[in-house]
Amino acid sequence: MRLHSFKVTLLDQIYYSLLLVTISQIVHTSHIREICEKRDIFFEPFRCQLYDVDVLDEPITYLLYDVNPSEGFNLRRDVYIRMAVFLEFLRTQQGYRRAKLVLPPWSNLVHWRSHNIDQTQLFWSHFFDLRSMKQYTNVIDMDEFFAEYERLHGLDTEVMLDEVYKLKHFENMFENGVFVDKFEEHVCPKSHDYDAGALAYFGYANFSTEDFTCLHFQGSAMLLHKLLETYKSPRIQHVRYVLVLNAEIVLHDLWGNVDYWEARRSMRFAPELIEVAGRFRADLLDSSDQQDRTVRPTRWMDERGHRNARGGDYLCAHIRRADFLYGRDKTTPTIQSAALQIRAKLLEQGLKTVFVASDCSRMEFYNLKNYLKRFRVVRFVPESYEQRLALKDGGIAIVDQIICSHARYFIGTYESTFTYRIYEEREIIGFPKELTFNTFCKSEKDMNCEKNTVWPIVYH
């Protein structure tokens, strides 16, 4: 009898616990809703995500940013990584789980010297594979932002930003000799950015704000979370628009860690640019991914660390000229010295061809060829005006970078961000380090000069 009652209680207990599990699952699934957003009409018409219902109560925070106009293309790519890694962190925080990063268009960068072609307000999709970037975090191009704004607020409305922060370094970065993360308001100087509510943002005439704050700022991207919390409106907001100007002031949380490399790996180039570079490699350098052992998985998430890449039978030299001849003349070689250093490497590597990526003049290139008469010296030049118009200066620079990323051996310019981006690309493709991390010296007579830093790739 006692045994029986024990059995009943045990069965009862099992029954009740099963019931509880079922109920809690119903409750749990009723907390989840599927939200679908319109995407790319060809590849992924809709992206659906499961959201907890309480996440849906949170506002959508649109985080826009911009970089100091004088900064070049390749530093801007680095600022993007800081912001993307930050956004990925922010989306884990309560109140920000639906945050999105809005990509600032590219407009008339100082190094883009083809003034006969229109290079204003170019979207990121012109240079990068946005679908790939979206697989790292929730980023949208400016045209997508406008479409979303229109959906939320109707056609032909001004874009009214809730908050704009213009960042500036502190005059004294070290307080009592220590660097502490902090920000502090200061009186805004007169500026072109903002005038009576109207905001100059990439030449768009429809941006405005009533809340423009100037801040001294020092610290990593994570400090932006504190900033967003500090200035959060006490009103209930369904959507919040925040713009950070001079985002290059914001530092990396941790440069070169796994997060950095994931964001970096997701920044694959636009397929059209890869195709142009691929044709050049095939036609002029007899180089292909199969042959060169540079085949990459279709998705960056499937990449694994290795160092088996071989590269095509050519050396690539990135020879930075233009402003480097003035600002960095102590470390930038003459064309003759660069030629002599290239020659030594070609002989050492048993190669006969050098691909030159450079912002040099035609005259400088002509001289370089003359110093390397016994070798083949090639560079990428658009085959027609139409192609130049389609690629634009930024696209041509990326084609150069792609071709360099597939060379057997690479040598770059000291302290050039352009060179650093090629190092990274080759790290992702999987070259042995010694075929990548090479730097020109000022003179071929002093090859013990200071070299660029080696930042090897890391994976989870």
Active site residues: 71
Q: Does 439 bind ligand GTP (CB under 6 A)?
A: no
Q: Which stretch binds ligand GTP (CB under 6 A): 16-24, 200-208, 331-339, 392-400?
A: 392-400
With beta carbons less than 8 A apart as the criterion, state whether 286 and 312 touch. yes
Return d(Cα 135, Cα 267) in angstroms, integer: 10
CA distance 19 to 64: 48
Q: What does 297-354 look like in DSSP terms, one character per residue? A: -SSGGG---------EEEEEEEE--TTHHHHTTTTSPPHHHHHHHHHHHHHHHT--EE
- Closer to Mg ion by Cβ: residue 72 or 382: 72
354 binds ligand GTP (CB under 6 A): no
**Residue 73 or 217 with smaller CB distance to Mg ion:** 73
Shortest Cβ 367–ligand GTP spacing (Å): 16
Strands (E), 41-104: 44-52, 60-65, 100-102
336 makes contact with ligand GTP (CB under 6 A): no
Residue 173, exposed/middle/buried by CB under 10 A (0-12, 13-18, 19+)?
exposed
Residue 111 vs 451, nearer CB to ligand GTP: 111
74 binds ligand GTP (CB under 6 A): yes
Looking at the DSSP assignment, which residues form a beta bridge with residue 51? Answer: 33
Q: CB of 132 within 8 A of CB of 300?
A: yes
Q: Which residue has the tokens 């600002």?
A: 327
Rounded CA separation 322/336 (Å):
16
Q: Which of 397, 402, 407, 441 binds ligand GTP (CB under 6 A)?
A: 397
Chain length of the chain: 460
Contacts with Mg ion, residue ranges (CB under 5 A):
72
Element (H, E) at 35: strand 32-40
Contact with ligand GTP (CB under 6 A): which of 132, 209, 332, 358? 358
User: Mask 398-427, x = binds ligand GTP (CB under 6 A)?
Assistant: --x--------------xxxx---------
Q: Is 393 among the residues that bind ligand GTP (CB under 6 A)?
A: yes
Q: Is 51 helix (H, G, I), strand (E, B) or coil?
A: strand
* Smaller CB separation from ligand GTP, 132 or 358: 358
Q: Which does 289 bind (CB under 5 to 8 A by kind): Mg ion, ligand GTP, none?
A: none
Task: Give me 62's structure tokens.
Answer: 């649109």
Give the footprint of ligand GTP on residues 269-328 (CB under 6 A).
318, 320
Instruction: Choose the one of Mg ion, ligand GTP, none that binds residue 158, judging by a C-beta under 5 to 8 angstroms depending on kind.
Output: none
Smallest gap, in angstroms, from Cβ of residue 267 to ligand GTP? 14
Q: Which residue in 47, 68, 75, 182 binds ligand GTP (CB under 6 A)?
A: 75
CB 38 within 8 A of CB 45: yes
Q: Which amino acid is at 443?
A: S
- The piece of 3-11, 66-74, 181-189, 283-291 that touches ligand GTP (CB under 6 A) is 66-74
> How many angstroms from the chain centroid is the CA of residue 326?
28
**Binding string, 192-221, against ligand GTP, x = CB under 6 A?**
------------------------------
Contact 137, 263 (CB under 8 A): yes
Q: Which of 62, 65, 73, 437 binds ligand GTP (CB under 6 A)?
A: 73
Nearer to ligand GTP, 112 or 212 (CB): 112
Q: Report what 63 binds from Mg ion, ligand GTP, none; CB cut-off 5-8 Å by kind.
A: none
